[in-house]
Amino acid sequence: MRRHMVAVGRALAMGTMTLADLVLLVMSMFAGLLTIIGMIFFFPPVIRVIRWRTAMARRLTGRWLGTEVLPPYLPPPPPVRPQPDGWYRYQRQLYKTPWWPEWNNRTKWIFTDPATWRDTAWLLLNPIVGGSLVVVPLFMAGYGLTLPWRWAPQAAPLGLVIAVLGVAATPWLLRFYGWWNRLLLGPTARSVLAGKVRRLNQVRLDAVDSQAAELRRIERDLHDGAQARLVAIGMTLGAVEELVDKDPQAAKALLAKSREASSTALTELRDLVRGIHPPVLAERGLGDAIRALALDSPLKIKVTVDLKTRPEAPVESAVYFSVSELLTNAARHGGADRVWIDISGQGRALRVTVTDDGSGGADPARGSGLNGIERRLAAFDGVLALSSPPGGPTTATIDVPYALATPQGNTPSMPPWKYAVVAVGWCVGWLPLFPQGLVTMILKIVGVEERSWFLALYLPEPLQWPMIIFNILLGMSLYGLAIGIPVAHAHKHELRNGPL
Q: Which range is most confident: 37-46, 60-69, 218-227? A: 60-69
Q: What integer is the mean pLDDT of 366-393? A: 80
Q: Is the pLDDT of residue 424 over 70?
A: yes
What average pLDDT does the chain have?
80
Q: Is the pLDDT of residue 499 over 50?
A: no
Of the CA atoms within 13 Å of residue 224, those in its CB half-sphere come to 7
CATH of domain 284-400: 3.30.565.10
Strand-pairing partners, residue 342, are 304, 353
Q: Between these two residues, 337 and 242, which has the higher pLDDT value?
A: 337
Q: Are strands 338-346 and 300-306 parallel, antiparallel or unpaired?
A: parallel
Q: Model confidence at 51, in pLDDT bands (50, 70, 90)?
A: very high
Q: What integer is the mean pLDDT of 235-241? A: 80
Q: Model confidence at 58, in pLDDT bands (50, 70, 90)?
A: very high
**DSSP symbol at 387:** E
Say what the pLDDT of residue 353 is: 92
**Does the bond joining 393 to the residue before it have cis omega, within 30 degrees of 0?**
yes
Query: C-alpha 356: how far from its chain's center?
Result: 30
Q: What are 96-129's pLDDT values in tens digits?
A: 888 888 888 888 888 888 888 889 889 888 888 8
Q: What are 256-289's pLDDT values in tens digits?
A: 888 887 877 777 777 666 666 677 787 888 888 8
> What pTM was estimated for this model as a whole?
0.53
Determine the 3-state secondary structure of 304 from DSSP. Answer: strand
Say what the pLDDT of residue 272 is: 67
CA nearest 287: which of 307, 271, 302?
307
Q: Are strands 93-95 and 383-387 parallel, antiparallel or unpaired?
A: unpaired
